[in-house]
Structure 1
Amino acid sequence: MSKKIIVLLIGVIFSLVAFTSIAGAEGMQKENQALNARQEQMVAIAAFTAKGDLPKLKAALNDGLDAGLTVNEIKEVLVQMYAYTGFPRSLNGINTFMGVVEEREAKGIHDEIGREASPMPADKSSVELGTENQTKLAGVPVRGPIYTFAPAIDQFLKAHLFGDIFGRDVLDFKSREIATISALASMEGVNSQLQAHFNLGFNTGLTESQMKGIISVLNDQVGKKESENAAEVLGKVLSTRLK
């Protein structure tokens, strides 16, 4: 084999190694990708809705629209919040958003309305759809003594929360869990639910970096106490999932 051919072969080998390394690095970077700008604003919107801080919510709503969230996506976050924060917080959030949209229209800002929710499956009841969604999110059928003790709450969770709300495809499951985690992390006394939704979030495909991104937004915009508590709960979840 001539020296020229050997040199060419070595060059090809080095090129293949370099390409493989770059591809691997890009794949790892994609896997560890943090939140994008739209998702960061979902965190802030859900958090301030949960806390009832309407001036900060108003700013977050404007930032969300500027970041590319559609009007219907933000509406969907605010509607979902009633299941976790109660009707008063949700209604106040929606009312604040109405004012934001009107102000922006008056300034000549035309925000994208976005798509409407698709019709629900005609061949499934809300309970059937909700049971499927809940099981998909949890990874296993959800059972427990609390649901035996109060079966009505089991039915409402399946039919209404995971069926009627999570069944609406304006937001995907990842976005819904980002909003839910952010809201729960901004409330006191709900760490068991926060822990459960960190797990559900991982099951939707959210990465550890994205979870930490949620906590970073909470730290920067909501408060140190909230972010530190969320980080502690996430740590417990990670230690459990790694076993």
Structure 2
Amino acid sequence: MHDFHYECMHSMTTMVPSDVTLTTLDDETAALVYLAAMLAGGSESETRVALTRAHQQIRASWVDEVILQTYLFAGFPRALNGAREWRRISGRVAPTIDTHAIDTAAERLAKGEVTCATVYGRFYEQLRVNIRELHPALDQWMIEEGYGKVLSRAPLDLARRELCIVASCAIARQDRQLHSHLHGALHAGASADVVTATLDVVGPFLAPDDVRRYHGLWARVQGK
């Protein structure tokens, strides 16, 4: 969703605690992570398999939310294709109104700042500086659109959202964003074991060099 020079991040901010703590990667969350990866980087057949598994294993509101957030990390075409297949496979009709919408710009800004600060922790203030230096519009869109309108939606907790983002970034080979969201998953309430298990879910769909690189990146995030 965004790029920044993570080597320069050292500014402190107050972290807002996540509403969920994950100590194990349960089957439903593992299926959700797998779905996020396939939506972001899988083939059509792989995505259909993931959505079929989702229909059997994942609550529908979570599936909807992961499909919706896919557009931030993989673009509208993949989000639209995923939504179309989900409606067909699940047989579920889309809601007539979005009852979880964060409607006003002020609310999106406020929620976006809190969510982004939770994800980035002590790196948050420098992130904002770095993104504004790229373009002020990107900073505004990142906070209001990405973290406010999408990632602050109620039906899916932030810890699971971050694990799904880790999966999306890994399969798309977006190393800088993966680095950020490995940190973010920990900040949002996922344990180190859960993040490791998330990488293992995506591993079979990556080249061996990618797997080694990402586990090395994860080790550095943990200070190993």
Q: TM-score, normalised by structure 2?
A: 0.78
Q: What RMSD in Å do the two structures reach over aligned CA positions?
A: 2.4
Structure 1 counterpart of 2:118, from 125, 133, 136: 136
Count residues in correspondence: 196
Quick one: structure 1 residues 42 and 32, their matched pair in 2 at CA, closer, same or farther if it must change by over 3 Å? Answer: closer
Tell me which residue corresponds to 2:201. 217
Contact 2:39 2:79 in 1 (8 A): yes
Further displaced range: 196-205 or 86-95: 86-95
Residue aligning to 1:179: 164
Residue from 182, 191, 203 that aligns with 1:198:
182
**Equivalent position amino acid for 2:196 in 1:** K
Q: Which has the larger radius of gyration?
A: 1
Match of 2:146 in 1: 161
Flag the structure with more relative contact order, 1 or 2, with Cα contacts below 8 A and sequence separation at least 6.
2
Structure 2: runs of 5 or more not aligned: 1-20
SS in 2 for 1:227: helix
In the alignment, structure 1 segments of 5+ residues that lack a partner are 1-30, 106-112
Looking at structure 2, the residues matched to 37 and 176 of structure 1 have their Cα atoms a distance apart, in angstroms, of 15
Match of 1:59 in 2: 49
Partner of 2:72 in structure 1?
83
Rounded Cα–Cα distance in structure 2 between residues aligned with 1:193 and 1:122: 28
Structure-2 separation of matches of 1:136 and 1:215: 21
Change (3 A) 1:118 1:49: closer
Q: What is residue 145 of structure 1 aligned with on the other side?
A: 130
Distance 1:205 1:131 in 2: 18
Superposition pairs of residues 56-135 of structure 1, within 5 angstroms: 56-67=46-57, 69-102=58-91, 118=100, 120=102, 124-135=106-117
Give yes or no for contact 2:112–2:144 (8 Å, CA) kept in 1.
Answer: yes
Q: Sort the Cα spacing of 1:123 and 1:51 in 2 relative to 1 into closer, same or farther, 3 A.
A: closer
Deviations 1:92-112 (A, max 9, x none): 11112122113xx8xxxxxxx
Task: Provide the rounded CA distance (Å) in 2 between the counterparts of 1:32 and 1:92.
Answer: 30
For residues 106-147 of structure 1, the C-alpha deviation after alignment (integer angstroms, 9 at most, x for no partner) is: xxxxxxx9xx75464879431222112211222243423332
1:233 aligns with 2:217: yes
**Partners of 1:78 and 1:121 in 2: CA distance:** 19
- Is the 8 Å Cα contact of residues 46 and 77 (structure 1) preserved in structure 2? yes
Q: In the TM superposition, what is the alpha-carbon distance from 1:150 to its structure 2 partner?
A: 0.3
Taking structure 1 as reference, are residues 122 and 183 closer, same or farther at Cα in structure 2, changes over 3 Å only?
A: closer
Instruction: Decide whether the 8 Å contact of 1:32 with 1:209 is kept in 2.
Output: no
Change (3 A) 1:165 1:174: same
Q: Which amino acid aligns with 1:186?
A: I
Residue 211 of structure 1: how far off its partner (Å): 0.8
Relative to structure 1, is the Cα distance of residues 229 and 50 closer, same or farther in structure 2, using a 3 angstrom cutoff?
farther
| Counterpart Cα distance in 2 of 1:162 and 1:195 | 17
Fraction of identical pairs, as percent: 20
Secondary structure at the residue paired with 1:35?
coil
Deviations 1:11-52 (A, max 9, x none): xxxxxxxxxxxxxxxxxxxx9943000111111111111114
Q: Distance in 2 between matches of 1:233 and 1:168?
A: 29
